[in-house]
Amino acid sequence: MTKNLQIDVDERGYYGRFGGAYIPEMLHPNIEQLKNTYREMTADPDFKKEFDALLKDYVGRPSPLYFAKRLSEHYGTNIYLKREDLNHTGAHKINNTIGQILVAQRLGKKRIIAETGAGQHGVATATVCALVGLQCIVYMGEVDIARQAPNVARMRMLGAEVRPALSGSKTLKDATNEAIRDWINNPEDTHYIIGSVVGPHPYPDMVARFQSVISEEMKWQLQEKLGRDYPDAIVACVGGGSNAAGAFYHYLNDERVRLVAVEAAGLGVDSGESAATSVLGTEGIIHGSRTLLMQTEDGQVIEPYSISAGLDYPGIGPLHAFLIDSKRAEAISVTDEDALAAALFTARTEGIIPALETAHAFSALDQMEYGPDDVIVVCLSGRGDKDLAAFTTYLNGLAG
């Protein structure tokens, strides 16, 4: 028998103590409108039809669940890869932006803003804006603009304006601050497409629902392949936590399934240059959500660090704070070095170059324990083309 955990958000957006909507009054009308409409709107048959059709014909879903034979042999277990890297634009991010652009259209919004770290969410947002013909502005930290240059070029090609965020550590957190400020300045015509399960309610729940297609497919794909619809463990990297939320979603209440959230340790959890929020964080408020957060005693946010722009964030989504705090999920942290090594190993073992973010999830396999009959699904959140500069530096370093 499985225990029925009933993990869901309450009407104020809380998962246990985590979540809520800590926003200035200027954002209240927009958030309130979203909160009051998103569930009904997205449950509407016309919405679902449009969403499903775009996921199928435009994104290319269902994404395959691929048995990784050589990785499985190496680890002595059964490893399946949920191939979000094969989606149009190369990552899971587009599942959410397709959903949110349909929401924006129904709200009558004319202008779209987004934040991005690795640039995958920026590209996915620019893509759906081009698809429906809406103006798109993407905020991106200056540091990330430099380290994810290919994605900046893609966004421009797609017609988006990329605005550098120059404050703080000039990364994802700061891009998010700028996007929020833009929304405060443009409350009426603009919809903010947040790229992860972060931000004020209803974003964490709305984004998780759009990403939940990942585990919805996983269920029938496992059933087809194995005759049982659940794995023993699901492993996913966590920046804000949207690919993890999507991969965990339909198993949240199924305790047979281990949920493994992989964070970026940067130069090491205790190095002072890290983004391992579940270890280094304490309860606090960031970007409108009460969650785990890297901060000083005085509540000042500590600038995070990771080689991976998509994991370089000082918080995690409130759902993950809840899952980790309640021990429903386990957190593993992986350093830059180990992630780079895992990316190389995955490339040469399976012929798949993963994104640096995803490489953290692969590396976590080295830290986990499992039996020979276990079934482990790794959420292959994105492809690594955008990270070739970092991989090349790494390869040159190995060549000495």
Partner 1 sequence: MNRLTQLFDKKKDNLLNVYFTAGYPQLDSTVTIIRNLAEAGADLIEVGMPYSDPMADGETIQQSSMKALANGMTLETLFQQLTEARNHTQVPLVLMGYFNQVMQYGPERFVKAAREAGVDGLILPDLPVFEYEQEFREITDRYDMQVTFLITPQTSEERIRQIGKLSTGFIYVVSSSSITGKSGEITEGQKAYFARIAAMDLTQPKLIGFGISDAKSFRTACAYANGAIIGSAFIRALKDVDDVAAATRSFVHGILSPASVGA
Choose the catalytic residue: 169, 278, 289, 381: 381
Question: Whose Cβ is closer to partner 1: residue 79's or residue 180's?
Answer: 180
User: Quick check: 76 binds partner 1 (CB under 8 A)?
Assistant: no
**Which residues touch 107 (CB under 8 Å, ≥6 apart)?**
33, 34, 37, 191
**Residue 135 binding result from partner 1, ligand PLP, none, given CB thresholds of 5 to 8 Å by partner type:** none
Choice from 2, 5, 10, 28 touching partner 1 (CB under 8 A): 28
Give the H or E element holding residue 38: helix 28-43
Q: Is 90 helix (H, G, I), strand (E, B) or coil?
A: coil
Q: Does the footprint of partner 1 cover residue 300 (CB under 8 A)?
A: yes
Other beta carbons less than 10 A from residue 207's beta carbon: 30
Place of tokens 């759902």: 319
Q: Which is nearest to 350 in space by CA: 64, 56, 58? A: 64
What are the percentages of helix, strand and coil residues in the chain, rounded to 5? 45, 20, 35
Choose from ligand PLP, partner 1, none: what does 25 bind? Cβ within 5-8 Å by kind.
partner 1
Contact criterion met (CB below 8 Å) for 78 and 67: yes
Nearest CA-CA partner of 314 in 288, 285, 276: 276
The angle formed by the CA atoms of residues 235, 237 and 241, to the nearest 5 degrees, is 110
Given the residues 115, 217, 263, 357, select the one marked as catalytic: 115
Pair 342, 362: CB distance under 8 Å: yes
* Smallest gap from residue 185 Cβ to partner 1 (A): 5
Interaction of residue 87 with ligand PLP, rule CB under 6 A: no
Interactions with ligand PLP, residue window 209-238 (CB under 6 A):
237-238
Candidate segments 148-156, 297-305, 357-365, 372-380, binder of partner 1 by CB under 8 A: 297-305
Tell me whether residue 122 or residue 231 sits nearer to ligand PLP (CB atom): 122
Q: Does 121 bind ligand PLP (CB under 6 A)?
A: yes
Exactly one of 357, 364, 377, 394 binds ligand PLP (CB under 6 A); that residue is 357
Residue 61 structure tokens: 């879903």
Contact 383, 90 (CB under 8 A): yes
The site for ligand PLP (CB under 6 A) is made up of 91, 117-118, 120-121, 196, 237-244, 310-311, 355, 357-358, 381-382
Indicate which residues carry an active-site annotation.
93, 115, 381
> Which residues are near partner 1 by CB under 8 A?
12, 20-26, 28-29, 167-168, 173, 177, 180-181, 184-188, 282-288, 293, 295, 297-301
